[in-house]
Amino acid sequence: MSQSVYVVVSHKLTQDEAFARVLKWLGDQKGGTPSILVISVNVQPLVHQIRLSLNIYGYPIEANITVTPSIVEVKTNEATDIIEGAAMWYQQRQLQSELTKILK
């Protein structure tokens, strides 16, 4: 079975405030696990997107974070093997928890 990270967190913040909190959270994650490299940031009126390269336990993962007026969504590419899938499953649970906290 294929595995990817897919997290959706609703929020009641303004889109700009939610985006700012996600960017700050990403900045605070540098040097941690997963290691994060921001590839690009694209700000449009209804959709703000961040494209990332993550290193989850030695596995390079591409991810996209999308911030809209009511939700933050994180999607990654699919795992290539079962160990990478397990790492993604674990990371998904952490992301859900952390994003829920920062978007309160």
Domain spans of the chain, in order of start: 6-102
What confidence category does residue 102 fall into, taking pLDDT thresholds of 50, 70 and 90?
very high
Q: What is the mean pLDDT of residues 36-60?
A: 86
- pLDDT above 90 coverage of the chain, percent: 48
Strands of the sheet containing 35-43, edge to edge, are 6-10, 71-76, 59-67, 48-56, 35-43
Architecture of the domain spanning 6-102: 2-Layer Sandwich (3.30)
Q: Which of 31-35, 43-47, 78-82, 94-98 has the lowest mean pLDDT?
A: 31-35
